[in-house]
Structure 1
Amino acid sequence: MNDTHSPDQPDVFPYLQLMHQHGGSDLFFSVGAPPHMKVEGHSQPVGQRVLKAGEVQQLAYQLMTQKQVAEFERDLEMNLAVSLQNAGRYRVNVYYQRGEVAMVMRLIKSQIPSFEALGLPVMLEKLAMQDRGLILVTGAAGSGKSTTLAAMLDFRNRHKSGHIVCIEDPIEFLHSHQRSIIDQREVGLDTHSFDDALRNVLREAPDVIMLGEIRDAATMQHALHYAETGHLCVATLHATSSSHAIERIARFFPDEARKQVLADVAHNLLAVIGQRLVPGIAQKRVVAVELMLGTPYIRDLIQRDELDELREATARAAEQGLQTFDQHLFALLEAGRIRLAEALKFADSRTDLSLKFKLERGFSVDDAELKVLRDG
């Protein structure tokens, strides 16, 4: 990403103010459609006026330096960070589509929500304070992985001294130095590449290393090495569940390396935190969390490559702080925060959740759904 630019108030400014007012996260500008704003994961038009040919280019060029304009016209792609007084800091991606300039602006948040505000298990506070090991935050794109990671780092930053180094592409939350020194390295701005930053981070004497995302075997090897050498490594990984996360890690590597990789993961794993954002009753999305801690039994299952047993083992260890998605979805349903239909939609096992619902409530899911239809 190119250097942060701080232009005078551009024509895009009113849209940014509107996004702030509505708690939006992204703005989309594309010729032939009105500007769109994403709020709580849903995109909606901002007004009815359709953007005409050349208008998005004008908006985008106001945010760039002359050098950036020249680079964009040469490369047809541009990533930059923009800081606007009274409107915040944004990650901006400018590109071409159908011969016209298009642009997406994402708000980089400086206010980091607490675990309580996010509805995350209190166990994450304890995990954030660990001295060494590997913590993975998993989920689909847009499930709040980066937000959870930011909350964990912020908690540690406020409660424990040390050096936290974040390697990000791009930076999504801005941290300030508190009890810890927290350095955020953005690929393209503070380091030439993710690989360069990975190779050099141990020379920066970190206590905690945060990796924006693990995408390949090389990054995974670095993460395991950091944990092995006495550091706390936290990272995100695209996976649908804890067992899928471990399987995905194994598949980064050749088949002949699988046994050793699983042994390394078992030895270093502190936790896998899975997330799904579920539509809530109060129009706000609610996070459903799967928490698989690296207990001796969980580690043994991983080492023995019995990954299909992980969900059941997690379900049976609730007294140790572990929980499955279905257990948390039922708790959210009982608390009146989500509807039955959404709980079933996001469950790992609709059958298991339906059975628990019948045992606890005394009537079946089908009866409940009929009642919802009857009551309107």
Structure 2
Amino acid sequence: MNDLMTRRGQRALDSAAPVFVPPPAAVEVPSSGPLLVSSSVSIARLHALIDSCGDERVSDMHIHPNKPVRRLRSGKLVKDEGPEGVFTDEDIAAWLVDATEGRPNPLEPRGHTSVAMATGRYRVRGTFRKSLAGTTVTFRLIPTVIPDANDVGVPQIIQELVHRDSGLIIMEGPTGSGKTTAIAGLIKKVNTEYDKHIYMVEDPTEFVHEEIGATSIVQRQIGSHASDYPTAIEDALRSKPNVIVIGELLNAATAKAALHAATTGHLVITTAHAGSITEALDSFIGQFTADEQPQVRSRLSQSLLAIMVQKLVPAVDGRLQAAREVLVNNLNFTELIRDEKAHMIRGQIDGDKVAGKQRSFTLESSLLTLVAEGKITCDVAMAAAKAPQELEKDLKRAGLYKELGLAA
């Protein structure tokens, strides 16, 4: 028992250590000496920008050729001043060559590509795309330390599901809402507390996990290690993993592969871009043909463990605060999903709340809690709500609507 406690304690210490990934080796583009020097200078300037943004807690950088860099911090855009904040087409082209290791036509066939880059101090996800302005890019800073699930506010009911042997957990929300970070926290929990085989396929790989104890982690990146998600999931099923992480449910083929994995003895954690639980279910099922949908609906109703929808809203401290909507599947929800009655899910959640057996909760319930805790204002909550009239009633009932200076 002492040995086990010592091992688990060492796991926690190991997992808290920052994970730094060195940048890829310089790529020799076929050009003359001066151009190679210019490329090196461009990459050095980019690394300096990334390090500066990391130090300033900037979340995103938007870069267009020959225009000042825009930095996003706590949801607010700020434009760089001076020539050091301007990059050329040649600079962006050099970054793309370096990030894709000289791969021919890296923006084809979709017109955009996502990559991961590192400076030695910070790691970023970069999205390059063709546009009217030329090739533009957005960089998102990735935390250097993999966060604990508690630290990023993943509800306990979601955390408790990672011990399950099989099933599907879907993290929903817009780009930049913290879905990948939440999953990283869950994988850290599995890595720290269990000895399991974890198979991760993403586009790109953002957080790099160090194995703890007997845990085995495979991390693959679309484009570099696998051609697409369905192909990678097929390989995963041959590798006997306990947990499969799928970066995004991009299309019906990926959704079908994820559902198959979840119904054949694997815990599958993935992301999509819906704004509510109902939208998430409609989007998942709607990818399939009318003939396929009844079977998909039945399999999804049985394999789904939970859906968590997350959005970031402005907090009173000037930062961003996550508001969430959570569905934890049960027999009632299973029947509603199977019988094509997803529109009744909200009423079922409210009914469970009244009955005192709530495990799921709506976005409005989360917003109400954040207002009550003083983390966000009433105005912010009302603007973020999907059902503002319902939220208004709850705020008034709690004595918060008038208290915060809004007309009753």
Q: By the TM > 0.5 criterion, same fold?
A: yes
Counterpart code for 2:246: L
CA drift of 1:145 comes to 1.3
**Paired residue for 1:276?**
311
CA drift of 1:301 comes to 1.1
1:161 to 188, 195, 198: 195
The structure-2 alpha-carbon separation of the partners of 1:264 and 1:223, relative to structure 1 and needing over 3 Å to count, comes to: same
**Paired residue for 1:220?**
255
CA drift of 1:182 comes to 1.7
2:164 to 125, 130, 137: 130
1:224-269 CA deviation, whole Å, 9 max, x = no partner?
1111111101111111111111111121111222222111111111
Is 1:5 the counterpart of 2:24? The answer is yes
1:71 to 82, 96, 104: 104
Is 1:45 the counterpart of 2:79? The answer is yes
Structure-2 separation of matches of 1:103 and 1:349: 35
CA drift of 1:94 comes to 4.5
Structure-2 separation of matches of 1:321 and 1:95: 41
CA drift of 1:74 comes to 9.8
CA drift of 1:106 comes to 3.3
Task: Classify the secondary structure of the residue corresponding to 1:33.
Answer: coil
1:17 to 51, 57, 63: 51
CA drift of 1:216 comes to 1.7
The structure-2 alpha-carbon separation of the partners of 1:201 and 1:333, relative to structure 1 and needing over 3 Å to count, comes to: same
Structure-1 separation of matches of 2:301 and 2:113: 41
Identity, in percent, stands at 25
Counterpart code for 1:326: E
1:189 to 217, 220, 224: 224
**Paired residue for 2:406?**
369
Counterpart contact for 2:166–2:262, Cα < 8 Å: yes
How high is the TM-score relative to the length of structure 2? 0.81
Structure-1 separation of matches of 2:337 and 2:112: 42
The structure-2 alpha-carbon separation of the partners of 1:17 and 1:296, relative to structure 1 and needing over 3 Å to count, comes to: same
1:353 to 388, 391, 400: 391
Listed as ranges, the matches of 1:29-44 within 5 Å are 29-44=63-78
Counterpart code for 2:46: V
The structure-2 alpha-carbon separation of the partners of 1:359 and 1:226, relative to structure 1 and needing over 3 Å to count, comes to: same
**Paired residue for 1:177?**
211
Which runs of 5 or more residues in structure 2 are unaligned?
Answer: 1-21, 27-39
Task: Classify the secondary structure of the residue corresponding to 1:290.
Answer: strand
1:317-361 CA deviation, whole Å, 9 max, x = no partner?
243421111111101100000000111111121111111111221
CA drift of 1:99 comes to 6.8
Structure-1 separation of matches of 2:95 and 2:287: 42
Task: Classify the secondary structure of the residue corresponding to 2:375.
Answer: coil
The structure-2 alpha-carbon separation of the partners of 1:214 and 1:44, relative to structure 1 and needing over 3 Å to count, comes to: same
**Paired residue for 1:235?**
270
Q: Which shows bigger deviation, 227-236 or 186-195?
A: 186-195
2:177 to 105, 119, 143: 143
Counterpart contact for 2:198–2:216, Cα < 8 Å: yes
1:67-94 CA deviation, whole Å, 9 max, x = no partner?
9568359969775543323x33334445
The structure-2 alpha-carbon separation of the partners of 1:129 and 1:47, relative to structure 1 and needing over 3 Å to count, comes to: farther
**Paired residue for 2:241?**
206
The structure-2 alpha-carbon separation of the partners of 1:363 and 1:69, relative to structure 1 and needing over 3 Å to count, comes to: closer
Structure-2 separation of matches of 1:136 and 1:73: 29
Is 1:61 the counterpart of 2:80? The answer is no
1:88-129 CA deviation, whole Å, 9 max, x = no partner?
333444555557554433334341222332223111220122
**Paired residue for 2:6?**
none
Structure-2 separation of matches of 1:134 and 1:222: 12
2:340 to 305, 315, 318: 305
The structure-2 alpha-carbon separation of the partners of 1:77 and 1:255, relative to structure 1 and needing over 3 Å to count, comes to: closer
Q: How many residues align?
A: 366
Structure-2 separation of matches of 1:84 and 1:362: 46
Task: Classify the secondary structure of the residue corresponding to 1:112.
Answer: coil
Counterpart contact for 2:169–2:270, Cα < 8 Å: yes
Task: Classify the secondary structure of the residue corresponding to 1:44.
Answer: strand
Which runs of 5 or more residues in structure 1 are unaligned?
Answer: 372-376
**Paired residue for 2:124?**
90
**Paired residue for 2:186?**
152
**Paired residue for 1:249?**
284
Counterpart code for 1:192: S
Counterpart code for 1:166: M
**Paired residue for 1:374?**
none
Structure-2 separation of matches of 1:142 and 1:235: 15
1:288 to 305, 323, 326: 323
Q: Which shows bigger deviation, 211-220 or 34-43?
A: 34-43
Name the one with the larger strand percent. 1
Structure-2 separation of matches of 1:133 and 1:73: 35
Give the CA RMSD over aligned residues: 2.9
